[in-house]
Chains A and B, each alone.
Chain A
Amino acid sequence: NAGVTQTPKFQVLKTGQSMTLQCAQDMNHNSMYWYRQDPGMGLRLIYYSASEGTTDKGEVPNGYNVSRLNKREFSLRLESAAPSQTSVYFCASSWGQGSKNSNQPQHFGDGTRLSIL
């Protein structure tokens, strides 16, 4: 039981390059999330998926796209990376579905450290 698995763990990109961050969970959770964490700014929600087949914007969605490939997998794509997207990206998952998912504990992956030059 691995929990939430993120790949890659580290990545360096050049401005304008594209990249997809992968996330998979084996806990049979309905809801999945992508956050970015910048120094001193806590965790900011980029996108989330309250159930398989649905995705919604969070607090900071600009410059990102997501795909809920199936119940296990939720990917985050940067189409044209910018230095402002240098951050640590965390994927998380939780029980609950729809309006109930925000009342459940979230389980986080180990993060992807992304640097954009």
Chain B
Amino acid sequence: GENVEQHPSTLSVQEGDSAVIKCTYSDSASNYFPWYKQELGKRPQLIIDIRSNVGEKKDQRIAVTLNKTAKHFSLHITETQPEDSAVYFCASPGGRALTFGSGTRLQVQP
């Protein structure tokens, strides 16, 4: 089955700095890569996703890049704000369901 590794497990940045979270996957046939944000005590919510026919997708301060050759994809958050503090999960198709990474706890220091 699919194996998804996510790094780093924790990330602390100053408000206004950029944050980058990286995931690697094992199945070269995977073609859909979502990112979820989970605030403390809340449900995971989709914030951005990318399909394998594009290399980058942006939505305001967040972007996702995909390198299919190297089998990794990354979440980029620019101009971080305290409300970006949360746990972020990447995912990749693993058979008939998504396989999630172990999560990155992002702390934005004001």
Q: Are A103 and B42 in contact (CB under 8 A)?
A: no
B26 at the interface (CB under 8 A from A): no
Q: Are A56 and B96 in contact (CB under 8 A)?
A: yes
How many residues of B are in contact with the other chain, CB < 8 A? 24
Q: Are A98 and B32 in contact (CB under 8 A)?
A: no
Q: Are B100 and A111 in contact (CB under 8 A)?
A: no
Q: Are B97 and A101 in contact (CB under 8 A)?
A: yes
Min CB gap A117→B, angstroms: 21
Cα–Cα, bound, A108→B93 (Å): 17
A53 at the interface (CB under 8 A from B): no
Q: Are B98 and A42 in contact (CB under 8 A)?
A: no
Task: Return the CB mask of B94-106 against A: 1 if under 8 Å, else 0.
Answer: 1111111111000
B31 at the interface (CB under 8 A from A): yes
Min CB gap B41→A, angstroms: 9
Most buried by A among B51, B94, B99: B99
Q: Are A106 and B32 in contact (CB under 8 A)?
A: no
Contact of B95 among A41, A42, A43, A102 (CB under 8 A): A102
B44 at the interface (CB under 8 A from A): yes
Contact of A42 among B34, B43, B96, B100 (CB under 8 A): B100
Task: Return the CB mask of B39-75 against A: 1 if under 8 Å, else 0.
Answer: 0001111100101000000000000000000000000
Cα–Cα, bound, A2→B85 (Å): 26
A33: chain B residues at CB < 8 Å are 97
A90: chain B residues at CB < 8 Å are 43-44
Q: Are B45 and A102 in contact (CB under 8 A)?
A: no
Q: Are B43 and A103 in contact (CB under 8 A)?
A: no
Min CB gap A76→B, angstroms: 15
Taking Cβ atoms with an 8 Å cutoff, the residues of A that contact B are: 33, 40-45, 48, 50, 56, 58, 90, 98-99, 101-111
- 5 tightest A-B contacts by CB? A102-B93, A103-B32, A108-B43, A42-B102, A43-B100
